[in-house]
Structure formats: structure tokens, C-alpha cells
Amino acid sequence: MTRFACALTGLLLWFESLCATDPVLRGTAPLTIKRPVDELMVEGLNRYCLRELAAAREKREERWQRDFSSDPAYVKSIAGNRQRFRTLVGAVDPRLTSAASNPCRFELIATLDRSSIAAKTDQVTVHVVRWPVLDGVRGEGLLLVPHVVRAGAVALPDADWTPEMFCGLDEGLPAAAQFTRRLASAGCLVVIPTLISRSERLSGNPHVAYTNQPHREFLHRQAFQVGRHVIGYEVQKVLAAVDLLEQHARRLSQQAREFPIGVAGVGEGALIALYAAALDSRLRSSLICGYFQEREAVWQEPIYRNVWGLLTEFGDAELAGLVAPRRLVIEACAAVAVAGPPALKKERRASAAPGRIVHNRLSSVRAEFHRAAPTYRRLGKEGELVLVVNGKEGLEPPGSDEALLKFAAGLGIDNVVDVRPQAWKSIALPDAAAREKRQFDEVQTHVQSLLRLSSRTRDAKWRMDAASVQQWQQKRKELRDWVHEELIGRLPRDGRKPKARSRLVLDKKEYVGYEIVLDVADDVIAAGILLLPTDLRPGEKRPLVVCQHGLESTALDTITHEARPFAYYKAFAEVLVMRGFIVYVPQNPYRVGDRSRASSCGPVAFRATSRDLRRNRRGESKQPRR
């Protein structure tokens, strides 16, 4: 909107010579477009953003200064990129498990009538566990403990799979997808965290309303206000588990035993696994199943996958660059497809954002893999980046022998393909619904506590220590630029003139109104209605008031006396111009329903429009989570 305001400021210079009866505002060209300007705005924004998304891939390298002279030099050279990525996903809070002075362990969850053991075989015992992460936030899930421990791994199921499904204690998954059993049977100590699901069961408040937003979206909408993300919380849970596995490794080191740690995931779990591996160099081997691909179409995916400004610096190939030189196994396979948000149920509000998850196109997986490969090659580690295509088009279930073999080999385990897990002797499964509610409530409580304390964070950032007006003006400029760049999103300046066009649309006794269109960038226009009092004399200066309309409205709605818009706006723009003000009412690009949600600008640097401008393709809900 700042570019729009600058163009409008230039337009005001023409007011001195205006004539109230002119069909075109003097100093402007005639406006001749026939279609509604809001439709043209949305279509133009979409074209602009799609071009910028395509261009972002080529521009990312400008933000990297890689040093390939050695592995340590490389890791040091990308430290700034890693820190920026950590900030983007909101994984910034100190973990309770990372403090050396505060040793923690996995807590076995047991009651008077139930052991912590959920199942076991002659090879593996499954415990119900939790572990501390942040103040008031814990991880929960299962811990698969082999009789002989050789390595550790955090294995992440898709968001709609429970840990019990992922290790075969509950039905719902093909045998291949239950690869955590094979890892544990081969000697891997496996942590399976619970992920926040895509169910809408908890999304709302009994004192207000419930919605059809998936749990992940409901938490995402709250968290991004304070620089956090549901992705970041789950990455923190993974890294807290890694902290505890590392502490276990230290205890083993006293026996001169090596204890490598890895991470593996499927679908949404693969997203979390990739992000965790990108952030933590302790993860020696990573397995990403059914997620890695070109990411320029992330705006078509569910909103809870949106990461603010991600694609200016990080596609999946760049995340692989953060994992390098460590092992990264990418399995092209079938993951969980999501047709859209949950179908609307009785007594719930329809407020979920659109977005689908489809199986990765093999061509897209290969293309992103080939973008990542040169980094490993220049480090002399070509063999550490592995692509496994599971089935003819990469659409077989995750957990192929080849992918597991490559992943486990990175952990020093060579028998994962040879072992065959025994049937579980199930004892007592935990209540998965109650466990997810605890996880949901803990994250929401943490987010709300950050919101309540956010004024302190702002006070610290905006503290004014200026000793003079000049120092304050410099400080103010820095803060203003930060707001423009980081919160609004500055469009690049290309030196173009606004090329103002206008036409008379309102001719009243007290005022006249001109519809105005200004050029901002290629395919991007600003539009609105300019109201001028008829008693405005040549050369006279008066205050300007900008009047904004809301969702699904038009600039004219703030002026008209028609019943429906008047009920909301009370013609407040007209009231102001009749009191002698000059009034400008911008037309905003969020009126044309589903089409206004088709803009693809959320994950790219140019963030001037809402991250919610996405096509609303509402699909049928998937099968409910077990």
C-alpha cells in the first residue's frame, strides 16, 4: 500500500487546476476500462506474483556465500542462512532440554492401572513417553527401545497418522510405511512424536464458536502474530528429543560406543524432518519420504505450510544445502493427499483457508534434486545425497528397502533390510485423542502467553535512547524501514510514473468523485475513488483522509446510501467530504470471492498483499483420523 500512497501524493499536485465539471480530472488521461477494477487488480497481482515466484529461484543464490574449501568452512559459511531460516519458522525459543545445567530424560507415562509399556516383542519394547521442550510445552509419543541400542532416530509420521499407526500397533497403514519397526528391530532407539493433526475437532472456543479450520491452521493463525509457527513448535519437539538422545549418547560414550542420530519422516512429518535436519548438524542421516520437490507452488498448499518470505532464500534444494555435507535420502513415494479443509459440519463456522496436498510429481522431485546435487558434489560428498524412486512414478508407499538401507547406513546400521520385525504383543494403547488435545492445548497456551507478553518485546525493540531530535529521526528511519521490509513487504522501485487515468463517477452538489487508476508495477495497479468538495478553490490546501473498506466491499460502499453497505459504513467517506475534507477511498483487491484468494505472493519476498490471497478450492474432507 505504500507505493499506492506515493503515487497518490503525486496526484494531489494536480488538484490546484481541477475543474469540478470536467469528465476527466485535469492532468490525467481518460480512464476507459470497462471491467471492474477489483477484478483487474486481482488478475494483475496474480500474474505479478507468479513471475516473482519463478524469478525468486534464480535470485536465491545472491543470499548465499558458500565456502567449499572444507566441510567446516562450508558449515561456517552458511551459519547466517541457517539462523535466518530458524527465525522464519519460529524455532527461536531456548529449549529446556538444551541447557547443560538442566539434565532431562524421557519420562515414561504410567498410571496405577497401566504400565508405560504399550507393546513389546523379543526384540523391541514400546514405551509411552513425553519429554520437556519449552515452558509448558512437551513432546509426547512412543519410544521404541531395542534390546541392543546402536543408534538413535526421531521418526515423524504424517500429521494424520498416530504414532501407533506408524509402528503398526494400530491399523491403517501398509506394512512398508511402518518402517519404524524395522529400524527398531535393527538396533535403532526410535522416538515417534505426535504431530498436530488436520482434524478440526478442537479448532474453536466453546464460548465463541467452532470452525472448520484444521488444527494446524488454527494454531498457525495465532502463532504467526508473534513470530512463531506450528512447524517451528514441532521442529522444537524433534530437536528436544535429539537433545535427550545426545545425552544418552554421552552416557554411552563412557563405554566408548558411538551413537549416531538421524531423523526420518513421511508427508507432513517429512517436512518437519527436513526442517529439523536443516537446523541441527547433529542429525547425521535424514530420510525424507513424499515431500521433497520444487516449492514454487506452495501457495496452493494448505496455509499452515506457508512460511513468511521463505522462497526468497530457501527452496527444498537450499534446505538440502543446509543439511550438507551430512547424508540426505529423498524417497519419491506416495504420501498423504489432502483435497482441502474439512467439510463444514453443523454449528461450525466456515473459515478454513483453501489448499491441497497432492502426490509429488516425479519430474518436480528430480528437478529439485538436481538443483541440490551441485552443493554435495562441490563438497566431494556426492554419495551423501541420495534419490530413491519408489515404484515406476514414485507412487508406492514410503519405506522401500533401498531408502531404508541408505538411511540406516548413514547411522552405521547395515542390517535394517535383513531383519523382519516380530508381531507385537500389545498391552495397552494410549488415548490418542486425549494426547493430541494436550499437545494442542499446550501450544495454544504458549502462543497466548507470548501474545500477552508481546508488549514487552515491542518495548525492547522500540526503546528510544535518542539524545536529540536528529538521533531520533535516524532511529525512526531504521524502524520504519524494518516495518516496510519485514512486516509489509516493500515492492521494488522501478522508476515508473503512475500514468494516472480518471473518470467522473459522482457529481453531487457538495462534491464530485473521480475513479482513479495508477500504475504501480508491471500488472500491478492502484485504484480508488477521489472525492473533492465543490467549494475547493484553486491553490487551496485541505487535509486528505484515506477511507478503507473491508472484505468483499468496494470503494463506493463507503459513500453510498444503499441499505446493505450503509448498514456497515454509514457513508462515512461522504460525510467527511461534505465536511470539507479531500477523501480518497482505495479499492482493495479482496472482493471477488474465490478469485481474490488466487494470489501466489505469500511465500515470496514481495509481501504487500495478504498471505491469505489464495484460490478457494474447497474439497471433500478425507477420512477422519484414527
pTM of the complete model: 0.89
Give the residue carrying C-alpha cell 471433500: 620
**Using an 8 Å Cβ cutoff, are 91 and 133 in contact?**
no
Strands 137-146 and 188-193, bridge-based pairing? antiparallel
- Give residue-wise pLDDT tens across range 212-246: 999 999 999 999 999 999 999 999 999 999 999 99
**Using an 8 Å Cβ cutoff, are 426 and 363 in contact?**
no
Q: Using CA atoms, how far apart are residues 144 and 187, in angstroms rounded to an integer?
A: 10
Domains of the chain: 2-55+494-597 (no CATH), 88-452 (3.40.50.1820)
For the record, the C-alpha cell of 216 comes out as 494446524
- Give residue-wise pLDDT tens across range 496-544: 899 999 999 999 999 999 999 999 999 999 999 999 999 999 889 999 9
Q: Using CA atoms, how far apart are residues 294 and 303, in angstroms rounded to an integer?
A: 17
Nearest in space to 319 (alpha carbons), one of 258, 257, 368, 267: 368
Q: Among the residues of 453-538, which ranges form H helices?
A: 454-461, 469-482
Q: Using CA atoms, how far apart are residues 165 and 186, in angstroms rounded to an integer?
A: 19
Predicted pLDDT at 592: 58
Q: Using CA atoms, how far apart are residues 374 and 376, in angstroms rounded to an integer?
A: 5
Give the residue carrying C-alpha cell 519437539: 237
Predicted pLDDT at 471: 84
Residue segments in the chain with a per-residue pLDDT below the cut of 50? 1, 13-20, 594, 598-626
For the record, the C-alpha cell of 370 comes out as 538436481
Q: What is the DSSP letter of 203?
A: -
Burial of residue 39, with CB atoms counted within 10 A of its CB: 0-12 exposed, 13-18 middle, 19 or more buried: middle
Q: Using CA atoms, how far apart are residues 310 and 295, in angstroms rounded to an integer?
A: 10
Angle at 122 between CA 117 and CA 127, to 5 degrees: 20
Predicted pLDDT at 625: 36
